[in-house]
Chain A
C-alpha cells in the first residue's frame, strides 16, 4: 500500500532529482497532426497517475509517452498503430475506450439491452392497462373528458 501511496504522490510532487521537467510542451506545425495528437492523448490513460489521461498527467512517464506519441505521429504512423504500440506494452488498461471484444460485449451492449428490456416492459405495461379504458362507451368517454378537463384546470 505504501508503495502505491508514493506512486500517487509522484503525480503531484515536484521531484527533486528530476532532471527534465515533465511538462515540456510538444506541438505540431500541421493543424491536422496537432488535432490527432490531442485526440490520442485524451484516449490514453496514464499508468502512474491512474486517473488522468496522458494529456493531463504530470508524471514523468506521461511526458515520455507523450514524446513517443509525438515521434510516431511525426513518422507517419496511423492512430491505430500508435494505440497498438501502447497496448503491446501496457495492455488494454491504457485505453480509456475499451476495445470491443468478447470480454467487453456486455459493457458495450449493456445499455442497449437495458433500454430494450425497459421498452418491452413499458409497452406490455401500457397494453395491459389500456384494455379496460376501451370499454367506455361514447357518453361515458365524453363525461370523463369533461371531468379531466376540469381537473386539469384546477391543478
Chain B
C-alpha cells in the first residue's frame, strides 16, 4: 500500500508541477494576476506530494519492504537503520527522488521569501522551477520509478553498496544536491529576467543571497565527498579529477564566478550579459553532471549503474532546458543586457578578471572531462585525461586568480588610481615576505621552490584580506567597535577568501610532502615513516552487523614517545561479497597519520599502507570556511532591506495601478 501511495503522490506532484509551470507563465504574459498568484500554492502543494513520496520510500526502507524492487536492490534486513534511511538516495532512482524533493524545497523557500518581488517576475521564476521539476518527475515515472514492485517479494535485499555505508555518505549527497539544485534558483531568476526584460541591480540583489547559499552548500558537499574518498577508498587521495568529481567541480567553479559577477552587477549594473550567462551555465553544468553520472558515457568510481534509455531521456531533457535557456539568451540578450561604464583601474576589472579566470578554469575541466568522449566519437581512439593533465593546466590558472584576489577588494568601484592601490598593498606585500621567510626554514629542501610559490599565494591572500579588514575599520571612528559593525557581506567575503587561502596551503603541503609507504608487516613489526615509528600491535577478527572485519591495531611513537593508537579495518561485506578498507587516522591540524590495511599475504603478513600527510586537514577546513563565509554573506542585512524596500515600492505601484 505504502509504495502505491508514493507512486500516486509522484503522479499528483507531476500534475501540480504542470499547473505550477503553465498557468503562472501564461498569467505573466497576459497580465492576469490571479493566474500569476497560482504559482505559490501550486509550488507548495507540489512540494507536499513530493515529500509524501519521499517519506513513502523511506518507510519502505525502514520497514524492509523487499517487494519494492529498489529496496530489495539497495537494502538488507541486517543493514543498520541509519544506512537504511540513507539508502533511500543510495542509488539512481532514490537519488533522483531526493533531487526532486530538494528542488521542491528550494521552490517553496523562494515562494516564501519573495514577498517583495514583482508578481510577474516571481510567477515566472516559480514557473521555470516547475518546468525543471516536470522534467525530473517524468524521468522518474517513466524510466526510474523507485516504487516498482517485484512480487513475490525477495526474502532479503541485496544490501546497500558498502562504499556508501559510511556516515560521511549519509550527508554528502543531500549537501551536494542542495548545492546543485540551488543553482536552479539563479537559473530561474535569469530566465524570468530575460523573459520579462527586467535585469538590473535589483534583479542581482534578489538573486545574490540564493546563489550564495546554494554555493555554500555545494562547497560543503564537495568537501564532504573529498573527505569521504580520503578515508574510505583506502589510498588516502582527496581529489582525483574523476569525471564525477569534475561534474561537481564545474558547477562550483561557474557558481563562484557567478557570485562575483553578481556582486558587480548589483553594485554597478555591469557585466549583465556575463552574469546571466553564468547563472544559466552554473545550473546547466549541474544538469550536465547528472547526465554524465547517470548515462554511462564516462567511467567513474562513483557512477550509478547505467542504462542507455536513461541517458537518452536526460540528454533530451538537457537539450530542452539548456538549449531553451541559451536560445532565450541569444534572442532576448541583446535587448535586455546593457551595462554601465567603468575604467580599467577599478574593482569591476578585477571582478571581470576573476570571473574570466574561473570561467576558463570551468571550460578547462569541461574540456578535460569530455575530451576522451569527443575523441572517441570522432574515431580518434581512447585516451585518458587524468590528474597529471588537470594539475598541469589548473595551477597556471589558479595562480593569477590568487594574486588578483589580494588586490581586488582594495580597489574602488568604477574608477581608482593605481598609485593609491599600490600604496595600500605595500603592507600585505611586506607581510607576505615576512611569512615566507619564516616558512622557508620550516619547509624541507626537496620541492621547496614549489612549496614557497604556493605558500606565497596563500600568504598574500591572507595578508591582503586582513589588511582590507583593518583599512575598513580604521575608516571608522572606533576601530574595534567597527569590526562588529562591518557589513556581513564584507565579513563573509573575507572569511571565504581566507578559507580559499587555507585550502591552497593544504593542497600545496600535502601534494609536496605527503610521505607514503607500502609495506609488508607482521604483528610486532615496526616501520618508520617521516620520523614516526609505527608498530603493528595486533590483528583480530571483529564482526559488524553486516560485515566481518579484521581490525589491525597500530601504535605510533615519535622520538620514543608514544603518540597515538590507530585501528584500521579490512571489512568484508557478507551480502555483496565486497571488501572495503576503513583507514585508521590520527588527525591533527598539522598532519594526519594514515594507515590502510591491505590484503593478508601468503605467509600471514599483511600488506599495509602508511602515510604521513602534512596539513591535509586544511583542505577541508578551508572549504568549510568558504562555505561559512558564504552563509555569513548571504545573511547580510542589505539583502533583506532591499527586499523590504522593493516590497514597499511595489505595493505603492500596485496601489497606483489599481487606482488608475
Contacts and interface: CB of A to CB of B under 8 A. Distances in A.
Interface string A1-38: 10001000100111000001111111100000000001
Contacts of B342: 129
B382 A92 contact: yes
A92 B384 CA distance: 7
Contact of B412 (A9, A107, A152): A152
A58 B518 contact: no
Nearest to A132: B341
Given A20-B602, A130-B343, A118 B360 contact: yes
A133 B600 CA distance: 74
B367 to A, nearest CB: 5
A60 to B, nearest CB: 11
B415 A104 contact: no
A45 B384 contact: yes
B583 to A, nearest CB: 13
Nearest to A145: B415
A114 B516 CA distance: 37
B384 A93 contact: yes
Contacts of B240: 51
Contact of A93 (B301, B383, B578): B383
A138 interface: no
Interface string B332-359: 0000000001111000010011001101
Nearest to B489: A155
A116 B155 CA distance: 62
B383 A110 contact: no
Contacts of B579: 12-14
A85 interface: no
A110 B363 contact: yes
Contacts of A151: 413
Contact of A52 (B301, B382, B383, B516): B301
Interface string B296-317: 0001110001100000000000
Interface centre among A23, A55, A122, A151 (most CB of B within 10 A): A23
A107 B579 CA distance: 37
Nearest to B393: A111
B396 to A, nearest CB: 8
Contacts, number: 154
B381 interface: yes
A91 B382 CA distance: 8
A105 B235 CA distance: 32
A94 B518 CA distance: 22
A32 to B, nearest CB: 12
B573 to A, nearest CB: 9
A144 interface: yes
Report the contact-size class of chain A (Cβ under 8 Å from the partner): 35 or more
B598 interface: yes
A42 B235 CA distance: 12
Contacts of A69: none
A23 B341 contact: no
B364 A110 contact: yes
Interface in A100-130: 103-104, 106-108, 110-111, 114-115, 118-119, 121-122, 125-126, 129-130
Interface in B572-626: 572, 577-580, 598-602, 607-608
Contacts of B517: 27
A21 B384 contact: no
A98 B518 CA distance: 27
A58 B389 contact: no
Given A27-B519, A93-B382, A22 B364 contact: no
Nearest to B363: A114
A91 B312 CA distance: 30
Given A21-B600, A92-B381, A148-B414, A122 B519 contact: no
Contacts of B383: 92-93, 95, 98, 103-104
Nearest to B521: A25
A53 B393 CA distance: 20
Contact of B349 (A27, A92, A95, A126): A126
Interface string A68-96: 00000000000000000000000111111
B576 to A, nearest CB: 9
B356 A122 contact: yes
Nearest to A126: B344
B412 A148 contact: yes
A21 B602 contact: yes
A12 B573 CA distance: 11
B349 A50 contact: no
Nearest to B386: A96
B486 to A, nearest CB: 11
B237 interface: yes
A153 interface: yes
B386 A130 contact: no
A152 B268 CA distance: 12
A134 to B, nearest CB: 9
Nearest to A11: B301
B415 A148 contact: yes
B520 A24 contact: yes
B539 to A, nearest CB: 15
B380 interface: yes
Nearest to B302: A51
A72 B622 CA distance: 42
14 contacts: A12-B579, A13-B578, A21-B607, A25-B520, A93-B382, A93-B383, A103-B381, A104-B375, A108-B389, A130-B343, A130-B344, A133-B343, A148-B413, A151-B413
8 shortest interchain CB distances as A-B pairs: A96-B386, A97-B388, A23-B599, A23-B607, A56-B235, A23-B598, A21-B599, A118-B356
Interface of B: 162-163, 233, 235, 237, 240, 242, 267, 299-301, 305-306, 341-344, 349, 352-353, 356-357, 359-360, 363-364, 367-368, 371, 375, 380-389, 392-393, 397, 412-415, 475, 487, 516-520, 572, 577-580, 598-602, 607-608
Given A12-B579, A14-B572, A96-B386, 11 more contacts: A9-B578, A21-B601, A23-B598, A26-B518, A93-B382, A106-B367, A119-B356, A129-B343, A133-B343, A152-B412, A155-B487
